[in-house]
Amino acid sequence: MHLSCRALRLLPILQVLWPSVIADSFLSDSLVRKGQVQSVLEHQPVHLSECENVKPTGPIDTTLCDYETVESVNRDLFDNLHQLVQMPFFKYFQVDLYRECPFWDDHGSCSDPGCAITTIDESEVPEKWRTKALSEVDSPVEDRHRLPGCYYRDSDFCFLDDHTEGDYFDLSLVPERFTGYSGPDAHRIWRSIYEENCFGLSEFALLSGKSPSAVTLPDSMTDVLREDGVDNDQCLEKRVYYKVISGLHASISTHICMEYLNQSTGEWYPNLQCFVNRIASHPERLQYIYFNTVLLLRAVARIEPYLSAYDYCSTGTHEDDVETEAKLSDVLSIAKKAGRFDETVLFRGENANVLKEEFKVHFRNVTRIMDCVGCDKCRLWGKVQTTGIATALKILFELDEKTLDPRSNANLLQRSEVVALFNTLHRFSESLEAYNMFRRMWSEISASESEELIYEAERAAAGIPRTVAQPIPSAIFGEARVRLGTFLHFCKENTLECVARIVRMWMRGMRSMSSVFSPSGKEYGPTSSSDEL
């Protein structure tokens, strides 16, 4: 390899060991400061390989990858994923959206038509993936811990539907975007999710021992894990956990900003102010989107032999199979290049099994919290993405090389896990593409407009509501007409689903009225401004 190329490959490690060698990353600060938003939005993404990079800004915290590598492959990654998730195997997802919330009774609801989704009839799904066929290939009952309508296995980081209940959805017809679901209900969801970051005795045992980390790590990986934006007193596993949750939150917020609804006109548009407030003014959130992308790519790369041998046959036509396998092969090739996360450095030492079990319990609870989301569309994508991340965590931390052998373990993953894994990776890849779109929008506005965006972001960070003109009565009635017209159109196209939704809204309203006399005790939500799902 050419000497200059070798040197450039070492730069990310040199940045960790000797920070003064290279300028700070464009994602280095965690507070709204002068020049910070500009640094994020004026960053020029890299479209060449890392060897042709003149000034790397990586590595990405807690990974062995840098921002440039992800940027250089994401265009191809997104294009291939976007086509892959349109394929019959990857777009149909079965899930029970209407299980009772296990944590509180008054879980609220979203009455906005944007929250509604449409199911598809099981007859539209290839017979091989219908309830009866999937039940026949399920793992033995004794391997499961059952709850009503769902279960988990000892190796699982999430609860899975048992295929006896639930509806089928075409994910390609349900965009993840702004729905209007916000306020106290959404606050409580995110607060509950972040509270699952509170590890207990297992972490205390790790931190109070003779060795704070209780593991032996390669020097470069240790430095990366120790020098990020999360509290340095936290154990390594907890810090990874926090990045996973925060990255999911940031990605969802990015999609909300990317397809924001003008509730007066009914038009969808990319909201730059929303992105500045929620992501660009908090660069660590963008860091965690990169982090989750690398984590998911590593899981996909690690399970490549299993995925390559998996039967994706859907319609029975040779052309469909060839096209699906070709796109999948392209994604796997990219994953091998950019999925550089060393999972072997985590969950080691005498307390490893205790800590891993607690990690799994916390993330399983996060997947159950999705049953408390009051917006149907948000709940669907919440379940898909928490299942996708949980599947990646299981692949990285629970499955050994022998288990990954498709010849000896053909039913290692449920079909829903494979579908969720790739759709979740698609969500994160699309978030990085959206970042490029917002960067272009930023470059096209005037200096005074950019200053106004930053000013509003600073006010939002300080908790000061945005000053807007009081809407005149005609505007209020106009918005009401738009909402009513949208809802009536939905009912016209989906009569049965409309009736079912009205019944659910009525039942939730009755539960909400009764909850006035029996407070849940968890009335408060996170103070973060990015609280919509």
4-13, 409-418, 433-442, 521-530, range with greatest mean pLDDT: 433-442
Alpha carbon 364 to chain centroid, angstroms = 15
CA–CA gap between residue 172 and residue 375 (Å, rounded) = 18
The residue among 122, 93, 127, 119 whose CA lies nearest residue 313 is: 127
What pLDDT score does 24 carry?
47
- Whole-number pLDDT of residue 478: 39
- Closest C-alpha to 374, from 103, 160, 175, 182: 182
Q: Which residues contact 226 (CB under 8 A, 6 or more apart)?
A: 232
How many angstroms separate the CA atoms of 49 and 56, rounded? 11
Is 274 catalytic? The answer is no
pLDDT bucket at 409, cuts 50 / 70 / 90: confident
The catalytic residue among 150, 235, 372, 378 is 378
Nearest residue to 89 via CA among 307, 337, 296? 307
pTM of the predicted model as reported, rounded to 2 decimal places: 0.76
Among 371-380, 385-394, 457-466, the range of highest mean pLDDT: 385-394
pLDDT band per the 50, 70, 90 thresholds, residue 231? very low
- Of 110, 115, 375, 498, which one is the catalytic site residue? 375
The 10 Å Cβ neighbour count of residue 495 is 10
Task: Report pLDDT for 482.
Answer: 39
Q: What is the pLDDT of residue 21?
A: 28
- Look at residue 169 and tell me whether its pLDDT is greater than 90: yes
Contacts of 287 (CB under 8 A, 6+ apart): 27, 60, 61, 228, 229, 243
Find the range with the poorest average confidence among 105-109, 169-173, 418-422. 105-109
Query: Own/partner pairs for 511-514, CB < 8 Å, 24+ apart?
Result: 511/105, 511/106, 512/106, 512/108, 514/105
Domain boundaries defined on the chain: 3-515
Instruction: Tell me the per-residue pLDDT of 337-380, one tens digit each, with 9 for 90 and over.
Output: 898 888 888 888 778 888 899 899 999 999 999 999 989 999 99
375 is catalytic: yes
pLDDT over 80 at 139, yes or no: no
pLDDT at 208: 39
Query: Residue 136 — very low, low, confident or very high, per pLDDT cuts 50/70/90?
Result: low
Tens of pLDDT, residues 235-253: 788 888 999 999 999 999 9
Looking at every residue in the chain, the average pLDDT score rounds to 74
Phi and psi angles of residue 375, each rounded to the nearest 5 degrees, phi first: -110, 125
Who wins on pLDDT, 394 or 163? 394
Mean pLDDT across the stretch 81-86?
95
pLDDT tier, 35 (very low <50, low <70, confident <90, very high otherwise): confident
| Digit-coded pLDDT (tens) for 258-295 | 999 888 888 899 999 999 999 998 888 999 999 999 99
Distance CA 522, CA 57 (A): 41
Confidence of residue 507 (pLDDT cuts 50, 70, 90): low
CA-CA distance, 169 to 93, in Å (whole number)?
5
Predicted confidence (pLDDT) at residue 314 exceeds the cutoff of 60: no
pLDDT at position 429: 97
pLDDT beyond 80 at 422: yes
Q: What is d(CA 27, CA 521) in angstroms, rounded to the nearest whole number?
A: 38
| Buried-state track 317-334, b at ≥16 Cβ within 10 A, e below 16 | eeebbeebeebbebbbeb
